[in-house]
Structure 1
Amino acid sequence: MGVYDRIMNLASGMQQFSVDSMPTDLFPDIERAKLSWYLGKLCRMGKLRRVGRGIYTIQSANTFLVKANAKVRSLYRSLLRQYPFADFCIYSANVITPLLHNMMPNNTIYVETNRDTTQSVFDMLQPKYKGRLFLAPTKEIATTYIDFSKENIIVKPLVTEAPLTCDGKVPVPTLEKLLVDTRVDADYYYLHGIENQEMMRTAISHYDVNINRLLRYADRRNAKDSILKDLETINNDTERML
């Protein structure tokens, strides 16, 4: 049996594995460094998936889908009519519920747009949503005045080169963007700390996370070091379980 077949047979019987956990008697003729090369080749072929530093699995990952509900779609259409050339990212915060360790209701709709359009968009929405519309709130404003269980709207600047995708025609955030924004933004203060670390762990364990995209965006938001630290912790915990 060839090396690739031996590796795939081993992988099929394990949830996750590392080079060090691979039995030496199964690969007596291959050095550890060479095994790493074979594993990398299988990842590039799409046969294996790397889930951490030196950690592999044969299991396919789920794609985290951000769905735009009816209210989000209606709001986006209204904005697009008024600002056809502006960039937007719009979503309901309840899309992050599958990532949460503790259930914390947030029914807020987030509207992110170009920095020079933010105030104008806020002013346009003010008559209809007065009393539940907020412009880039600070932590103090968020903790004092925003009841996240209600349907608020938060308007704030869209970070340039933020990773976005689309649900139909509606521009929505990628999983990587959500993982960074919930760590950094003041209006997500209630997720900072342990909860955000658990969100990262859940995302890595259950969904396909583009690590390069995650780190690029984290770097733009000055969160790269903290995210790297969490990724290292997750990787070390996984290795101890093998």
Structure 2
Amino acid sequence: MFKPKATDYQSKELISEFRDVPHFSKQEIYDFYCRKEPELNDGTLSWRIHYLKQRGIIQSIGRGIYTISVKPHYSPDISLRLIRLSRILNKVWSDINYCAWSTEWLNSFTRHQLQSFFTVLEIEKELMEDVFECLFYEYNLRVYMKPDKDIMDRYVAFENAILVMPLISRSPDQIISYKKQKVYVPTLEKILVDSFSDEKTHYAIQGELSYMFEHAIETYNINFTRLLSYSRRRGKEEQVKQFLKHELGDLLNGVLK
């Protein structure tokens, strides 16, 4: 946990004030400081919140909603398979936009462990066919492009295959480096939304969604503004909101507007 310095704007007191609550608002931070600084203005408050975020004392989980920084950022282990795939993509297309991950990562969040896995490779729509043909014909990889349910049931999960899927614009991703090789992978918010939204691809964990979301939220820092923004681009914002309110309403009280 972060150990604040004495000069970090009453950081020790602020941590003590909010450590036992799941989240708190900008207004609550204002009220906290106003006990000793009744003349505190909004500009000073905004700068102070920025300072606390930069120092890792608080984290933003939504618009005007914060939490004490005790939860880690989700950073999955990268397999040699993903590293090799990334190298191929960067070798053939130097400026390609992509995002790749393995469904094996889902086992960190589910009660019943998946026994077979596949790689999801999201690519700009106009390059999907070129990427598919390159991986299939030139590198002899088990690869499918936007497979239907029948293909998913018959082949994909049993072959440790690669699924080439369209990359949604402004998908939240992160970079993980391995020996100077950059691998673009999804954030946890994207993994959660994709698992919820694409029932055909992620059919194996549909019965685990409530547990999966709860475990992810309790274990890692989740930015709900990012999560809902991406849900909106997938056309699933209201469905995701209703799911979260129904399944995790007590845990997220005050976060979802």
TM range (shorter): 0.7 to 0.9
Query: Deviations along 1:192-226, whole A, 9 cap, x unmatched?
Result: 2x412221111111101111111110001122112
The one-letter code of the counterpart of 2:101 is Y
- Which runs of 5 or more structure 2 residues have no equivalent in the other structure? 1-9, 34-44
How many residues were matched structurally? Answer: 219
**Which residue of 2 is the match for residue 93 of structure 1?**
103
1:196 aligns with 2:206: no
Q: In the alignment, what sits opposite 1:65?
A: 75
**CA distance in 2: counterparts of 1:109 and 1:35, whole angstroms:** 43
Matched letter for residue 213 of structure 1: R
Q: Aligned-pair distance for 1:49? A: 5.8
Q: Residues 143-169 of structure 1: CA distance to partner in whole angstroms, max 9, x if unpaired?
A: 233234x42111111111111111111
Which 10-residue stretch deviates more, 109-118 or 97-106?
Answer: 97-106
Fraction of identical pairs, as percent: 24
RMSD: 3.3
Q: Does 1:184 align with 2:197?
A: yes
Q: Report what 1:166 is aligned to.
A: 175
Give the structure-2-normalised TM-score. Answer: 0.71
Structure 2 residue identity aligned to 1:100: T
| SS class of match (2:201) | helix
Alpha-carbon shift at residue 18 of structure 1 (Å): 7.8
TM-score, normalised to structure 1, is 0.75
1:74-111 residue CA offsets vs partner (Å, 9 max, x unmatched): 12111211112321112222122212222113431222
1:221 aligned residue (234, 242, 247) = 234
Whole-angstrom CA distance in 2 between matches of 1:160 and 1:96:
23
> In 1, Cα distance between the equivalents of 2:252 and 2:229?
24
Deviates more, 1:196-205 or 1:112-121: 196-205
* Structure 1: tracts of 5 or more residues without a match: 20-33
Secondary structure in 2 aligned to 1:212?
Answer: helix
In structure 2, how many angstroms separate the alpha carbons of the residues matched to 1:18 and 1:172?
27
Residue 78 in structure 1 maps to residue 88 in structure 2 = yes
- Counterpart of 1:105, as a letter, is Q
Change (3 A) 1:7 1:82: closer
- Which residue of the partner structure matches residue 24 of structure 1? none
Q: Is the 8 A contact 2:117 2:157 kept in 1?
A: no
Structure (1 or 2) with the greater helix fraction: 1
2:244 is the counterpart of 1:231: yes
Once the two structures are superposed, residues 33-62 of structure 1 have per-residue CA deviations (whole angstroms, 9 ceiling, x without a partner) of x75753697993455567799998646111
Letter of the 1:160 counterpart: S
